[in-house]
Amino acid sequence: MPPDKEIHCWDIHVCPAAEYLSCEAYKSGKNCWEVREKPCCKRNDFARCLTCPVYLQYLKSRK
Protein backbone atom coordinates (compact mmCIF):
# COMPACT_ATOMS: atom_id res chain seq x y z
CA MET A 1 0.00 0.00 0.00
CA PRO A 2 1.23 3.53 -0.63
CA PRO A 3 2.65 5.12 2.53
CA ASP A 4 0.18 8.02 2.37
CA LYS A 5 -2.88 5.74 2.31
CA GLU A 6 -4.56 5.11 5.65
CA ILE A 7 -4.58 1.38 6.36
CA HIS A 8 -7.45 -0.06 8.35
CA CYS A 9 -7.91 -3.43 9.97
CA TRP A 10 -10.43 -4.46 7.30
CA ASP A 11 -7.79 -3.82 4.61
CA ILE A 12 -5.57 -6.40 6.30
CA HIS A 13 -8.16 -8.92 7.49
CA VAL A 14 -10.69 -9.24 4.71
CA CYS A 15 -13.97 -9.67 6.55
CA PRO A 16 -17.17 -11.02 5.01
CA ALA A 17 -19.96 -8.47 4.56
CA ALA A 18 -22.01 -10.05 7.35
CA GLU A 19 -19.15 -9.27 9.72
CA TYR A 20 -18.02 -5.81 8.64
CA LEU A 21 -21.52 -4.38 8.16
CA SER A 22 -22.17 -4.89 11.88
CA CYS A 23 -18.65 -3.94 12.98
CA GLU A 24 -18.36 -0.80 15.11
CA ALA A 25 -14.82 -0.18 13.87
CA TYR A 26 -15.86 -0.33 10.21
CA LYS A 27 -18.94 1.84 10.77
CA SER A 28 -16.86 4.52 12.52
CA GLY A 29 -13.92 4.37 10.09
CA LYS A 30 -11.55 3.35 12.88
CA ASN A 31 -9.45 0.27 13.46
CA CYS A 32 -10.70 -2.49 15.72
CA TRP A 33 -8.14 -1.62 18.42
CA GLU A 34 -9.36 2.00 18.43
CA VAL A 35 -12.99 1.33 19.34
CA ARG A 36 -14.39 0.54 22.75
CA GLU A 37 -16.27 -2.61 21.74
CA LYS A 38 -13.56 -4.62 20.01
CA PRO A 39 -15.30 -6.95 17.55
CA CYS A 40 -12.67 -9.68 17.78
CA CYS A 41 -12.18 -9.61 21.55
CA LYS A 42 -15.09 -10.38 23.84
CA ARG A 43 -13.10 -9.04 26.81
CA ASN A 44 -12.30 -5.67 25.19
CA ASP A 45 -8.71 -6.02 26.32
CA PHE A 46 -6.22 -3.95 24.26
CA ALA A 47 -3.35 -6.07 25.59
CA ARG A 48 -4.65 -8.88 23.39
CA CYS A 49 -4.22 -6.62 20.34
CA LEU A 50 -0.47 -6.56 20.93
CA THR A 51 -0.19 -10.15 19.70
CA CYS A 52 -2.92 -9.95 17.05
CA PRO A 53 -1.62 -10.68 13.51
CA VAL A 54 -3.78 -7.88 12.07
CA TYR A 55 -2.43 -5.30 14.54
CA LEU A 56 1.16 -6.48 14.03
CA GLN A 57 0.81 -6.25 10.25
CA TYR A 58 -0.61 -2.73 10.64
CA LEU A 59 2.39 -1.69 12.73
CA LYS A 60 4.78 -3.20 10.20
CA SER A 61 3.07 -1.28 7.37
CA ARG A 62 3.57 2.03 9.22
CA LYS A 63 7.39 1.73 9.19
pLDDT at 39: 66
Angstrom CA distances, 19 to 2, 5, 10, 32, stand at 26, 23, 10, 12
Tens of pLDDT along 7-60?
888 888 888 888 888 888 899 999 888 888 776 766 677 888 889 888 899 899
- The percent of residues above 90 in pLDDT, for the chain, comes to 3
